[in-house]
Structure 1
């Protein structure tokens, strides 16, 4: 009875203790045998976390159904072994650590009980109360690795702290770390003298305060560029009558689209969507025919999507098998949509209300997303018809001025595809679609409404350095509600004006 009493007293004491009671450790997964149970999206997330931090980890994955992305990973990681079968307690044989990542809570409970019976530590996905250990957000700079834990209370806070540390800690710190390691090997004397010497060398890390210029270099470059352009423009205005005459005679449409491009790029940076639909609605309201509006939108998107696609490629977020299936039908659809819309330029009075109805619908979609109104999923199967989806998405995007992300990305995620790989694949595909549809528009229409095109390109480029910061300062829900209402009102206006003309 005495041992039992002590355990109960200890449990009672533990319940009274407040705060984070986790003991941080760094595990050598490359020296252990890891079992991961689950081959869906949750299992993929856990697997990526494991392999990103320990590329030589010996992982045995057990699941009845296995994602294609996981099978692709297995080609690059020979120590990842996949067993496509149901879980059995014998799977715990010759295992050191366990990850349960299924969407079956009852099965997770069974796995946890079996693991504890064998004295194994286990992490159960999305169930903090069932976990023996958590996976924290990781900041990595070479050999330096920092793990962040919120005791399972808020993964979002951990993610934000990770972003702050990633930005604040210079990559060059790893060079310092390597130099310190080399210096440590050369030091002689007792332990106290070694510590004293190392403290002297590293004192600069905390005492070396950065100057104002070093701390604000990005903003200084931005402000310097703006001042240079302003000074050069003012000088030319005062000394070159031809330049002054050129600016005066530029169609005011350029300045409207310059401001619109800036605002819409800022909105897109804040909520990650709606550039196409807001620009399309604005272009129609400003009197641009649908084809010219779509041309302006796609040309202005080529650079931004190229950069975004490249970043996703560098981060390994592109599913190349999905990309190969998606890209050809998408390009065909986009070019066909651009060709048909350009051919109907003379009938823009009839095409404009159709585009207005489409943007009215997308405005409603934005409002639904703002209030998180979703249809309940009823055992969604992974989407199989990728090629037709790409064709339809590319066609509608070109023919109506936007919608590639809304149609294709949402369909892939709703159909069971991993969000991260879907986003990366859709972004890099979008670059090719925007490029080829722009070429089609330009070939068919020539340089019409160049003021709108150039205005959007310059305006969105000016917004890009600060657009990302907006997402941390303004409520995304507020912006989405405002954008949804404005888009719906502008689109409704186009439809009503068309109906009144018919009457």
Structure 2
């Protein structure tokens, strides 16, 4: 299949899931890029560039439907932007082959955790809402390093702490736009200053274009999909996909898969 069409489909499906659950676009897109041999820093940068466009479409939808809790939005966004910039400099300062196994472990852990949540239907109570700034920082840090992690970390924690799911998803998805812009700007800075060579982005322009267009197409329909497909079923799907892809990449690193 043509690379552009393949990643258009990936972006389309990932954004549908992200819009329905408030998470998974970055994790799914980053995992697929890594599976195609894209270096970790280039994969994360590509995903965050794509999320600027898909995030803007999603944010407009949430603002129109009044799904945002603004008192929560600002500290989350501020903490996420700081954490994302820190995570970018951590990621681009380390050779790709060195950090890739740790990113795969992170993605595998996310996948297993998502499956566990779906099976147990558990709401975790880890952070009080007053700690939204530090929570945003952790989410932004993991998002920059793993190319995804903002939604799984922040949305689930807020819902577990008692935030209305609709408000949590809307607030987190909208704040993600600012976090993504900060991370993308940090990647651009590291590229211009010579800290990181981003040539791989040019080599995967078709994949990046597919992710952007697929995500933008799906973003307006996410609310409709949410009403038709049970969230628990979507959660299982995300967990299974992430575990399979991360596991396959682990076998590749170990030399057991082509």
Task: Bin the TM-score by the shorter chain.
Answer: 0.7 to 0.9
Q: How many pairs are equivalent?
A: 247
Tell me the secondary structure at the aligned position of residue 433 of structure 1: helix
| Cα distance in 2, alignment partners of residues 318 and 471 from structure 1 | 17
**Contact residue 382 and residue 417 of structure 1 kept, 8 A:** no
Query: Which of 348, 368, 373 is the matching residue for 2:121?
Result: 373
TM-score, reference length from structure 1:
0.44
Select which of 86, 99, 105 maps to 1:357. Answer: 105
Instruction: Give the Cα separation in 1 of the matches to 2:241 and 2:75.
Output: 36
Q: Using the alignment, how far apart are the partners of 2:28 and 2:212 within structure 1?
A: 15
Flag the structure with higher strand content: 1
Question: How far off its partner does 1:395 sit?
Answer: 0.8
Question: Residues 352 and 494 of structure 1 are in contact (CA less than 8 Å); yes or no, is this contact kept in structure 2?
Answer: no
Q: Tell me how far 1:301 sits from its aligned partner.
A: 1.5
- Alignment deviations for residues 387-426 of structure 1 (CA, whole Å, 9 cap, x no partner): 2212111111111111112212222232344444433332
Q: 1:496 to 1:320 in 2, by over 3 A?
A: same
Corresponding position of 1:424 = 170
1:209-239 CA distances to partner (integer Å, 9 max, x unpaired)? xxxxxxxxxxxxxxxxxxxxxxxxxxxxxxx
Is the Cα–Cα contact under 8 Å of residues 331 and 436 in structure 1 kept in the other structure? yes
Partner of 1:321: 71
* Equivalent residue, structure 1, for 2:28: 278
Name the CA distance, whole Å, in 1 between partners of 2:40 and 2:112: 20
2:194 maps to which residue?
Answer: none
Q: Is the CA contact (8 Å cut-off) linking 2:22 and 2:170 kept in structure 1?
A: no
- Which consecutive unaligned segments of at least 5 residues does structure 2 have? 192-197
Cα offset for 1:316? 4.4
Q: Comparing both chains, which one has the higher relative contact order based on Cα–Cα distances under 8 Å and sequence gaps of 6 or more?
A: 2
Greater share of helix: 2
- C-alpha separation in 2, matches of 1:390 and 1:471: 25
Answer yes or no: is the 8 Å Cα contact 1:297–1:453 preserved in 2: yes
Name the SS for the 1:385 alignment partner.
Answer: helix
The separation in 1 between residues aligned to 2:184 and 2:118, in whole angstroms, is 31
Q: Match for residue 312 of structure 1?
A: 62
State the 1:274 CA deviation. Answer: 1.9
Give the 4+ runs in structure 1 shifted more than 6 A: none
Unmatched 5+ stretches in structure 1: 1-250
Distance 1:466 1:428 in 2: 16
**1:280 touches 1:359 (CA, 8 Å); kept in 2?**
no
Indicate the residue corresponding to 1:483 in structure 2: 238
Q: 1:496 Cα shift?
A: 3.3
RMSD: 2.9
Larger Rg, first or second structure (1 or 2): 1
